[in-house]
Structure 1
């Protein structure tokens, strides 16, 4: 079943006769009969892509939309390399290994015994990384239950209703109950809620370091302490996974005093997204485990037909090495100080936008960009228009600013969210605020005129 709607009245792309080479048109939903001129094919595909939004004005996505030309050149030079072919591309495999160890050091993983490598791998993104971490949690829980002669039929995973949808996908795909805790007075899961939702069938708790809804950090250390207390009181030993899709590349540099990572014994695994605040074009993610004991061996496959015996643990097999190489480039290019300056600049710009939004008048800020460089805000009082109207109006200036309802527990609250990333500037932020002010004036004026007309 196709997920895209079919419009039979528009089954062909009519080409510019100056460049079509006499072809005239290209069918949309079946192969053309013959080959096309390369320049003409490039032109009509490029013309189609003109209808996309401007990536630099896309304030909806967390995904990197700007890299240095040197990084883009390295990616271009590596497009044909398959990261799974470790025997054929040994240096790409070495670069992946170095990245895993760099992140393990950044996230304060215990030093492996005997000089071994940290336990982890690259993925196509944080969603795949989350799936792998969830699988490891389920396998470890099941092994413990089977060893004790207990039932393994009803595993559950505890998380706030604010988690990214990949966790609900994991639960559905791997037959785990998604125990989604509704929000209650906060925009994310609290430690008390997390511990209260656990039982003997809980495979783990997911803590989110940087909510996609408002950019806030969940209290990972408090959750770990609550789960420690739960174990001392009931004997339940519930592991903690940290979904640091965005925060894993922000908190170490801007919030070094914040304890959220492998410094907490309760934290068994962490995922993060290299293509978000890791500063790499999509798609690359990372997942790391505390130790070899936290990644069940029967989840690791050994593949022999690529020229050597290679261990692999990923949902995807063949995938590009280019993004992993780009990740290594930005890690060595920027270093700790460079990442800190870049992320601090993004946070400063987010704070400036938050101040500007506050001065516009009709909004209440739910977050100000002082954790992730992300701010979310709602209408203080409806005035004949909604955040959805404002999102639509901003499109007229090219800005992509999403509007959506908050998760269960706050579902009656509709917000706008602005994500600030590397490449967004103070000048662009000022232009956004100016255009937002014009949109607010236009909407408020239209609402007043409608009320006057009605009366």
Structure 2
């Protein structure tokens, strides 16, 4: 009887209905150093990974990231249904490719391209890849023009203000000098007055930030375009603009459509945008669009025979998922112009509510308070009062409540100036904003009563703080730029 019962219990414990935490994997720990010799049941492997991921922060409370952290159930369903679709294989998945073409035409229309049906554009894995494609197109076009004129084309440069790290990568990887204009006075971005001092015959483009990573502010694209017009009149040098609109391209057209920053300016030849930010698509959706087909040099386009069809490609990646494109098209159909306007208008209202309350707390000066004429739906501030704590201490204290509120120094010439920023995204409600404000007040009161003995170092503060006061100024990744 005992032997039979023991055998029966053994069979029960090894079956699919056994308690998940009595399995060998759970009792002996997860593989960490080497490749496991044997596999395990799917539900055990799932539970192990699921439990480890509980140590991550809650994405919707991560107010550093610009990226989508909430989506409708239908988006999840479409992503599941598109799990096996390879975006590069347009011959096998022709309708996914058609949805990509529709999205490009819709974006070209949204950004006022002269001929939306005939422009060039592509989806990418994120805005960083799209930015590099825009930069490569500018470099190739400049090089072609210089060679046609019989002039040297070996010292290209581009001019920008404080930018996301992808532009530093572009400069290094593709051998283009980056002329990053130092911040001066009370400015936080590139201005029209900077153009004359930093551009020359080797400048392939000026990169304008339309929704800066540090503060969320818009750069004056029209003013910079006008300055480049005057520069061309004086020197003869025709310099194109690339707009890094990772954060602003899906905001201004709906909330502030009269703001001129896009292809309405003939000097704007290319735009990159993150569909997975204010475009409300899942992570992994970026877009690059050129004003006309002629603005994308043919040398950048590859034509390859792949799985039964001849495909044109001008991406840095090859195989990549198609689900994000499908979900982006769903969003365009689901919301339309009016729907996007409602979503982003609500976010601006919440951002302005936050800015008003934060400004009234005393030790802060609000740099950007969710004004749609000046930037995206973000709130950025710096400390001005004489407090016994730093912004890094405040960020660390807020983290005990689950909030990830970044604190970081500005670019190298203003490294002693530390700012904090909250990104108000879809899914961040007024109620959540009030909870954050309550925790902000409590954190300030706690730090005043219990001043930190020393400033946090980089490891203590956590990666989202981008280091302590003495750390070098970071090139911000935009909370998952992509």
**TM-score over 0.5 for the alignment?**
yes
Task: For structure 1, list consecutive stretches of 5 or more residues without a partner in the other structure.
Answer: 1-14, 451-455
Give how far 1:447 is off: 2.9
TM-score of the superposition, structure 2-length normalised? 0.87
Give how far 1:415 is off: 1.0
TM-score of the superposition, structure 1-length normalised? 0.93
2:433 to 429, 438, 449: 429
Give the equivalent residue in structure 2 for 1:404: 408
1:419 to 403, 420, 423: 423
> Partners in 2 of 1:34 and 1:195 — Cα distance?
65
1:74 to 68, 75, 78: 78
Q: What secondary structure is seen at the aligned counterpart in 1 of 2:306?
A: coil
**Aligned residues between the structures:** 432
Give how far 1:195 is off: 3.4
Give the equivalent residue in structure 2 for 1:315: 316
Q: What secondary structure is seen at the aligned counterpart in 2 of 1:249?
A: coil
Describe the shift of the 1:301–1:435 C-alpha distance in structure 2 as closer, same or farther (beyond 3 A).
same
> Partners in 2 of 1:35 and 1:140 — Cα distance?
53
> Partners in 1 of 2:184 and 2:20 — Cα distance?
57
Residue 95 (structure 2) pairs with residue 55 (structure 1)? no
Superposition RMSD on alpha carbons, in Å? 1.6
Q: What secondary structure is seen at the aligned counterpart in 1 of 2:121?
A: strand
Give the equivalent residue in structure 1 for 2:181: 181
**Could you tell me whether the CA contact under 8 Å between 1:368 and 1:374 is conserved in 2?**
yes
Give how far 1:407 is off: 1.6
> Partners in 1 of 2:241 and 2:211 — Cα distance?
16
**Could you tell me whether the CA contact under 8 Å between 1:83 and 1:92 is conserved in 2?**
yes
1:65 to 60, 65, 69: 69
> Partners in 1 of 2:443 and 2:431 — Cα distance?
18
> Partners in 1 of 2:196 and 2:334 — Cα distance?
41
**Could you tell me whether the CA contact under 8 Å between 2:362 and 2:385 is conserved in 1?**
no
Aligned 1:336-415 pairs, distance under 5 A: 336-370=337-371, 371-415=375-419
Give how far 1:360 is off: 1.4
Task: For structure 2, list consecutive stretches of 5 or more residues without a partner in the other structure.
Answer: 1-18, 455-482
Residue 283 (structure 2) pairs with residue 279 (structure 1)? no
Describe the shift of the 1:26–1:206 C-alpha distance in structure 2 as closer, same or farther (beyond 3 A).
same
Per-residue CA shift, 1:284-328, capped at 9, x if unaligned? 100001111110001100011321211100000000000000000
> Partners in 1 of 2:446 and 2:182 — Cα distance?
36
Per-residue CA shift, 1:255-281, capped at 9, x if unaligned? 111000000011000000000000011
**Could you tell me whether the CA contact under 8 Å between 2:118 and 2:292 is conserved in 1?**
no
> Partners in 2 of 1:351 and 1:139 — Cα distance?
43
Give the equivalent residue in structure 2 for 1:247: 248
**Could you tell me whether the CA contact under 8 Å between 1:26 and 1:32 is conserved in 2?**
no
Describe the shift of the 1:447–1:25 C-alpha distance in structure 2 as closer, same or farther (beyond 3 A).
closer
> Partners in 2 of 1:21 and 1:410 — Cα distance?
51
Q: What secondary structure is seen at the aligned counterpart in 2 of 1:309?
A: strand
Residue 94 (structure 2) pairs with residue 90 (structure 1)? yes
Give the equivalent residue in structure 2 for 1:166: 166
Aligned 1:225-244 pairs, distance under 5 A: 225-244=226-245
Give how far 1:149 is off: 1.1
Give the equivalent residue in structure 1 for 2:109: 105
> Partners in 2 of 1:448 and 1:297 — Cα distance?
59
> Partners in 2 of 1:20 and 1:347 — Cα distance?
51
> Partners in 1 of 2:169 and 2:182 — Cα distance?
18
**Could you tell me whether the CA contact under 8 Å between 2:64 and 2:422 is conserved in 1?**
yes
Describe the shift of the 1:22–1:231 C-alpha distance in structure 2 as closer, same or farther (beyond 3 A).
closer
